[in-house]
Amino acid sequence: MISEYVSQMAKRGGMAKSTGYAIEFALPDSLKGYLKTCGIEVDNKPLWQEFCDEASLPASNAATGQVTGRYLGEGSVSYPHTKMYTDISLSWMADANMEPYKFVQAWWQYIFGEFDQEGELYDAGGYYSETKDKLRNRSTRLRFPKEYNAGIVIVKAERGVNSEIDRQSQAHVIQEAYPYSVDSVPLSFGMDSLVKVTANFHYSKHFVKYTDQRTA
């Protein structure tokens, strides 16, 4: 039985591992431009795209209703009527420049479009003591969703001949995503630990592209 199990798994490319995945972002040009003005790399495989250390494949849910009092003695029958999409979270181990944190925080900030009293896009620039007058007189103009919504693709893959993600069994395409919260990052004078950055994303819908990775 064990040999048959191993044989069947080998035909299917082996066991799936949680470490086999890749993340891709498709950002709108307006958001890219803003990130660049913040000094955040957006081209040439930036750190926040290459080193997402924790993700999850989106859940699939349906809202259901019930019909009662049917014929044939059935008390009630449940039926699905609406697709429901749950939020996703992505996490990064931060580098010394805190690049992943800057990325998600600037993206979140961009949604609200804060402007100073002269109508210029607000830039925090210095410390609070240097900017308190601008902080007092700033205004917020929410941006249009097309300016900050992005596409995210989570690829589930396994080790292949040429790379860790050669064999891609499925790609979860997430549409119109944006970060609605960035988790707090604890700091302490105690024992050193790596800094982890987590952002939570809302999106409108997702679908899955499948690829057969069986070897025989």
How does DSSP assign 109-150, residue by residue?
HHHH-EE-TTSPBP---S-HHHHHHHHHH-EE-PPPHHHH-E
**DSSP 3-state of 157:** strand
pLDDT (tens digit, 9 = 90+) per residue, 16-63? 777 788 899 999 999 999 999 888 888 877 888 878 999 988 988 899
Domain range for residue 41? 2-59+86-210
Answer whether residue 160 shows pLDDT above 90: no
Does residue 68 fall inside a structural domain?
no
Average pLDDT on 57-81 reads: 80
Residue type, 23: I
pLDDT at 201: 96
In a domain, 67, yes or no: no
Whole-number pLDDT of residue 51: 83
- In this predicted structure, what is the pLDDT of residue 175? 96
| Number of domains forming the structure of the chain | 1
Is residue 166 in some structural domain? yes
205-210 and 167-182 strand pairing: antiparallel
Does 69 fall in a domain? no
The confidence score (pLDDT) of residue 210 equals: 85
Mean pLDDT across 174-178: 96
Mean pLDDT within 63-76:
74
Residue 46 falls within a domain, yes or no? yes
| CATH code for the domain in which residue 40 is found | 2.30.110
Q: What is the pLDDT of residues 86-125, one digit of tens each?
A: 999 999 999 899 999 999 999 998 998 776 655 566 554 4
Q: Is residue 97 part of a domain?
A: yes
Tell whether 167 is covered by a domain: yes
Residue 189: the pLDDT is: 87
73 in a structural domain? no
